[in-house]
Structure 1
Amino acid sequence: MSQLLNPLQAGSLVLNSRLIMPPMATSKAEPDGRVSPAILEYYREKSAGGYFSLIIIEHSFIQQAGKASGNQLSVAEDHVIDGLKELADIIRANGSKAVMQINHAGSAAAQEVTGTVPVGPSAVKNPRKGGVPHELTVPEIREVVAAFGAAAHRVKQAGFDGVEIHSAHGYFLNQFFSPLTNRRTDEYGGDVLGRIRIHLEVIAAVRAAVGEEFPILIRLGAADYTDGGTTAADSQIAAREFVKAGVRIIDISGGFSGYNNPESNEPGYFAPLSAAVKEVVDVPVILTGGITDAAAAERLLAQGKADLIGVGRAVMKDSQWAQKAIESLK
């Protein structure tokens, strides 16, 4: 029996296989972040046939100050809900579950995109982008936390099956998690528990906005692969706390290394991180990274490296990838 074709349940989210499409930015939204015909067509094509049990929509900004790039999707205002509903309906009609990823770029934002000075946990240079952000005050942090909650409410209103909080790839929440960018001396800094205080507040705000049954996922940049950055051991501590707070699935990726692992390009190159997190939590763990064939996905599942496998770049290149992979296993 194929491991990849086994069903899985995470809280109220029932998936018919272990194959998912992870979030990948397309820059196909309208300039103001509304859903465009191009976005609808892209996800219609990628979800055709329902070969992915779950499709996670690309990162979408929760407020203008957190917009990462031009033509990024928005979850920042109520007027985007109708377009997002159309997007969710297309994916669900094709047979896949749909989850929306919500994000704030923090110091990875650019003033020419947002119209405002980038913000972050500390006034230190962003390792990927180079700029020095405004260091957020505690009241300003609370405003961002509230914006995550409001965005999650819109995701639920639009008919999605769950919401994913983005804390990877050097974006806002990842900036709080990483000692490379979090030098705070208040309750939002210091040890791992201090650095994830904001994550737990975001999870609580999201939970309050969507109710007890709506699935919450988190994408965790589980290592920076840089001296002084986050490690797998940090992520084990963080993941345990996230699950206690109500997260139903943990989606593993890189921190300030982005979606790459500078130490490996093997299929499933984040497997050491997903395996480390899987050891300490009792919720499903997603592994992505360089997986381009069904045999590799099967092997990683059989080895217990993860519970769900995300295939991204291969699907971006070939919309028939998932169909061919599933059919090769039957």
Structure 2
Amino acid sequence: MSYLLKPLKTKKIELTNRLVMPPMATAKSQGDGKVSEEILNYYQEKSEGGYISLIIIEHSFINQQGKASNGQLSIAQDSDIEGLKKLAKIIQKSGSKAVMQINHAGGAATREVTGIAPVGPSATENPRFKDREIPQELSKEDIKNIIKDFAEAARRTKEAGFDGVEIHSAHGYLLNQFFSPLSNKRTDEYGGDVNSRIRIHLEVIKAVKDAVGEDFPILLRLGAADYIEGGTVVEDSIVAAKAFEKAGIDIIDISGGFLGYVMPNATEQGYFYPLTEAIKKEVSIPVILTGGIVDAEAAEKLLAEDKADLIGVGRVIFKDSTWAKRAVETLS
């Protein structure tokens, strides 16, 4: 059997194959982040036929302060739940699993979008968004409130009927800002070595688990390397991934850090595979690999070589909704 078409089963989730549609912002929400007909139509088109086993919804903001952009989906209020129920059902009706990604933009947010001063682990420039206002350093009380907001967002995700929730710590957003020494200059228990820089992650994971219960799948997307001098490297991410697994993360989704979802000078498909391969050797939970994968054969090869357990195909599916169908038929 094809590696890509092989089912995957964990204690909490069953996937029909190894193909994942990673979160990609559409800016199609309406009003203050509510689900629109345009979003429902978009995800219905992408999930049609159930060829993609797992669809991770675009990052959704957990509070107004953490809103990244206009048109971003909201998971910040109980009034969001009704619209999100429709979204979960549309995807599940096709036979795919639906996971909600929850996020706080931190120092990547702008006052123009949120109406509030941006915040971060430290009052330092964001290496990915250098033109942005310098964020205000979060107090410990602020951190506690953000952790509560992640937990509330996860509760709403479960109430909306999704199959799991993904915590976003990649692409230079708030949790990734805590993880990276480029933006985390704190001298308290939330800054310093990698174990201190992931303290907030572990506290978010615990709060989310408490909110959704033991049986609800929790994923975490990690910006596993910054590719900038003085930033995070794969050794940091191995430490983090092992700690996240121990804390209760069910699937780890690997992407880039402060350079976003791209990698400098990358020419091959699945360019984050050195990160996923190294992390996969150290954890027993499934690892998702994304990064410039456009051919089913490339996805097959990456799985065959044990670079990852699941393959995320983003931009090509974003452009062509029939890609997954053709990939599955080619490998069947």
With the length of structure 1 as denominator, give the TM-score of the two structures: 0.99
| Shift of residue 109, structure 1, vs aligned partner | 0.2
Q: Distance in 1 between matches of 2:89 and 2:325?
A: 21
CA deviation profile, 1:253-307 (whole Å, cap 9, x unmatched): 0000100011413100000001111011000000001100100000000000000
Whole-angstrom distance in 1 between the partners of 2:268 and 2:11: 32
Separation in 2 of the partners of 1:242 and 1:196? 9
Give how far 1:229 is off. Answer: 0.2
Q: Which residue of 2 aligns with 1:33?
A: 33
SS at match of 2:73: coil
Maintained 8 Å contact 1:31/1:70: no
Give the aligned partner of residue 21 of structure 1: 21
Partner of residue 295, structure 2: 293
Q: CA deviation at 1:31?
A: 3.0
Partner in structure 1 of residue 232 of structure 2 = 230
Please name the residue that 1:157 is paired with.
159
Q: Structure 2: any 5+ residue segments left out of the alignment?
A: none
| Letter in structure 2 aligned against 1:108 | A
Counterpart position of 1:210: 212
Task: State the match for 1:112 in structure 2.
Answer: 112
Report the CA distance between 1:113 and its aligned residue. Answer: 0.4
Matched, 1:171 2:170: no
Q: Give CA-to-partner distance per residue, 1:63-119, whole Å, 9 cap, x none.
A: 000000001000000000000000000000011000000000000000010010000
Deviation for aligned residue 1:129:
1.5
- Structure 1 position 62 matched with structure 2 position 49: no
Residue of structure 1 equivalent to 2:273: 271
Contact 1:239 1:277 in 2 (8 A): yes
- Paired residues in the alignment total 330
Q: Secondary structure at the match of 2:168?
A: strand
- Contact preservation (8 Å) 1:252, 1:286: yes
Counterpart for residue 304 of structure 1: 306
Instruction: Please give the per-residue CA displacement for 1:209-267, whole angstroms capped at 9, x wherever unaligned.
Output: 00001000000000000000000000000000000000000000000010001141310
Query: Unaligned 5+ residue runs, structure 1?
Result: none
The yes-or-no answer on 1:243 pairing with 2:245 is yes
Partner secondary structure for residue 208 of structure 1: helix
TM-score normalised to the size of structure 2?
0.99
**1:72 matched to 2:72:** yes
Q: Distance in 2 between matches of 1:231 and 1:257?
A: 13
| CA apart distance, 1:12 | 1.2
Identical pairs, percent? 65
Residue type matched to 2:144 in 1? R
> Matches of 1:77 and 1:329 in 2, distance apart?
42
Structure 2 CA distance, aligned partners of 1:70 and 1:56? Answer: 20
In 1: Cα distance, 2:330 partner to 2:323 partner: 11
Question: Which 4+ stretches in 1 moved above 4 angstroms?
Answer: none
Q: What are the equivalent positions in structure 2 for 1:180-191 lying under 5 Å apart?
A: 180-191=182-193
1:128 CA drift (Å): 1.6
Distance in 2 (CA, whole Å) between partners of 1:57 and 1:30 is 16
Q: 1:148-192: per-residue Cα shift (whole Å, max 9, x none)?
A: 000000000000000000000000000000000000000000000
